[in-house]
Structure 1
Amino acid sequence: MYSNFHKLKEEKKKQILSSAMEEFRQYGFEKASTIEIAKNAKISKGALFNYFNTKRDLYVYLIDYSLQVIEGFYEKIDLTEQDLFKRIENVGLLKLYTQQKYPYVFDFLTSTREEGSPEVKEIIIEKTEYIYKQGISKIYQNIDYSKFREDIDIEKAVEVINWTMLGFSEKSIRQLGGFENIHKFGETFLQEWKAYGEMLKKCYYK
């Protein structure tokens, strides 16, 4: 179905996908402009529709492509690490590396969850719900919750830890563009996260 698109060089495919994801993220399915997508990808609108028959086809392709990236991300999670803080630390670092390699994927997928267009809403749910649930389940698989104090509501504690990590990772992603060396940035990320983690451990661990 997308044979013409798959024949393109990797750099050109990446350019088209990045342009499309950013346009849909900013404006949603209905208001996104295929003219702008083509313009920013440095191709003609005719060429865009030679690769994808319709705007909806392009949108669905982006979802499938993004989910493949996310599945790869989940597969790299180290399930042998049973400490919750270290697990979340590893997940956060993985997300940074994935964000650097695929800069528009996370934001695009987040935008699909808020998409209200009846033309794509059903297929978004159909394609993404299982992956999200599976991913959340995997992040917390094999965690040793016995480290928490007995008087702590573990479910609420995990929520607080997640909120902290989410805010921290979003801040880190915004800073990512200023670092040429992703591994050096990763070291900075780890140092800062460990400081947050130590504070939270004092609140929740025995």
Structure 2
Amino acid sequence: MYLKFNNLEQEKRERIINAAIKEFARIGYDRASTNEIIKEANIAKGSLFNYFSSKKELYLFLLDYVVEVIDQIYDEVDLNERDFFERIRQFGSVKFKIYKKFPQAFDFLKAVASEDADEVKSEINKTRKHLIGSGLDRGYQNIDWTKFREDIDREKMINIINWTLLSFAEQQRNQVNSIEDAGLEVLDEWEGYFDIMKRCFYKKEEQ
């Protein structure tokens, strides 16, 4: 679908991606200017539409790009680790490292979370559902459920853990302008929540 764009040299592709993400993250979809993207990417006027037929197609490409970045997180997590909270620790650590490597992806995701433009809203919702569903499925693969307490409904227990993790991630995302502003103290705070949930939901001998 993006054959012409993908055939560009890497440096030029990255300039266009970074310029587009910067513009969309800065002022949102509706107000974003393709002229500003062209100027920031330092490419010939009008050339952007040799690669993307419209601003919407460019935006959807960026959504796909961010999904690929997130997929790298799953590829680096050891799915042979059967302890639930150790698995989640890995996700947090790898996600932090990859977002540091691709800070523009974090900035774009932060903007996407509050984007309400009608032209792209349905695609955003589909992407969000896919990311959450895929992440939870892979996060729970091969988990040792015997460590969890048997006197608490598992579905409700997992919902509480998911809501806590998703709310924590959203809170941290809203507290910084860019992932480059975040430090390792974020991971330390994760640990505190893990310890509390472990004491609540694991059998005593497993804590």
Same-fold call, TM cutoff 0.5: yes
**Residue of structure 1 in register with 2:202 after alignment:** 205
Q: What are the within-5 Å matches in structure 2 for residues 14-33 of structure 1? A: 14-33=14-33
The CA deviation at 1:113 is 6.3
Name the counterpart of 1:74: 74
Unpaired segments ≥5 residues, structure 1: 180-184
Alignment CA distance shift 1:170-1:118 (3 Å): closer
1:158 matched to 2:158? The reply is yes
Distance 1:19 1:148, change over 3 A: same
CA distance in 2, matches of 1:52, 1:157: 45
Match of 1:101 in 2: 101
Percent identity, please: 41
Q: Deviations over 1:158-179 (max 9, x none)?
A: 3333344442686389485258
Q: Tell me: CA distance 1:86–1:127, structure 2 relative to 1, closer, same or farther (3 Å).
A: closer
Task: Evaluate the alpha carbon distance shift between residue 137 and residue 106 of structure 1 in structure 2; reply closer, same or farther with a 3 A threshold.
Answer: farther
8 Å CA contact retained: 1:34, 1:45? no
- Structure 2 residue runs without a partner (length 5+): none
Cα offset, 1:14, TM superposition = 1.8
Given candidates 169, 173, 193, the residue that maps to 2:190 is: 193
* Stretch moving more, 137-146 or 83-92: 137-146
* Partner residue, 2:180: 177
**Does residue 58 of structure 1 match 2:58?**
yes
Show CA shifts across 1:144-192 (max 9, x none).
222122232333333333344442686389485258xxxxx66x66555
Amino acid at match of 1:198: D
Native 8 Å contact 2:29 2:117 kept in 1: yes
Checking the alignment, whether the CA contact within 8 Å between 1:25 and 1:111 is kept in structure 2 is yes
The answer (yes or no) to whether the contact 2:103–2:179 under 8 Å persists in 1 is no
CA distance 1:203–1:121, change in 2 (3 Å): closer
Aligned position for 1:182: none
Q: Is the 8 A contact 1:24 1:32 kept in 2?
A: yes
Q: CA deviation at 1:35?
A: 1.9
Out of 113-122 and 192-201, give the one that drifted further.
113-122
Deviation of 1:40 (Å): 2.8
The normalised TM-score by structure 2 is 0.74
Aligned-pair CA distance for 1:5: 3.2
* CA–CA distance in structure 2, aligned partners of residues 13 and 38 of structure 1: 12
Alpha carbons 1:157, 1:204 under 8 Å: kept? yes
Q: Take 1:18 and 1:127, find their aligned partners in 2: how far apart are those partners?
A: 20
Change (3 A) 1:25 1:168: closer
User: Offset at 1:20?
Assistant: 1.2
1:57 partner amino acid: E
- Paired residues, number: 200
